[in-house]
Amino acid sequence: MGCPYRIGYGNDLHRLAPGKPLVLGGVRIEHSLGPEAHSDGDVLLHATVDALLGAAALGDIGELFPDTDVRYRGMDSSIFVRRSIELLRDRGWRPVNVDAVVLAQAPRLGPYKTAIRQHLAEMLGLGVEQVSVKAKTGEKVGPIGLQEAIGAEVVVLIEPTGPAA
């Protein structure tokens, strides 16, 4: 019998462009730059999806929601998270906690972190105390620091819902 818990890691990175909306963790952020992406480009939710799917060995976001599929053009990434949670539950898993880092030189995310944590917790069926969201800059170095890109890294812990997992 294996360990009753599994850990998953996900990351995402998108180029930034002027005039695009910026959404992180399902929350609209006021900023002059937003991601160039097929869906809404929410790097935090994309990384969360990959972490969830990886923990349960269910593939990755590109396999389930390919950017070549027109159905996902401009789609709210919350839908990807909810579908991933359904897949986990169908296979006998549920999330325990989430630890996330958003990598962005700007804007400052402090005013948005509570709303992002609450939205993530709601989507994942967790208490807000089980969701951590941190923000890091690129120290004005590389694509993150030069505001050419935005990224996110997420770690999740999942546990079995019963003996079937």
Domain limits for position 62? 12-160
Domain contains 152? yes
Q: Going by C-beta distance under 8 Å and a sequence separation of 6 or more, which residues neighbour residue 85?
A: 52, 95, 123, 124, 125
Q: Going by C-beta distance under 8 Å and a sequence separation of 6 or more, which residues neighbour residue 25?
A: 42, 44, 45, 100, 115, 116, 117, 119, 120, 133
**Domain of residue 101, CATH code:** 3.30.1330.50
Mean residue pLDDT of the chain comes to 94
Q: What is the mean pLDDT of residues 64-92?
A: 90
Q: Would you say residue 87 has pLDDT above 90?
A: yes
Q: Would you say residue 1 has pLDDT above 80?
A: no
Domain contains 124? yes
Digit-coded pLDDT (tens) for 102-116: 999 999 999 999 999
The predicted model scores a pTM of 0.94
* 65 — pLDDT class (breaks 50, 70, 90): confident
Digit-coded pLDDT (tens) for 4-60: 999 999 999 999 999 999 999 999 999 999 999 888 999 999 999 999 999 999 999
* 2 — pLDDT class (breaks 50, 70, 90): low
Domain contains 4? no
Digit-coded pLDDT (tens) for 126-150: 999 999 999 999 999 999 999 999 9
Rg (CA), the chain: 16
Domain contains 2? no
Domain contains 84? yes
* Confidence at residue 66, expressed as pLDDT on a 0 to 100 scale: 80
Which pair of tokens denotes residue 126?
A: 């967790």
Tally of structural domains, the chain:
1
* 163 — pLDDT class (breaks 50, 70, 90): low
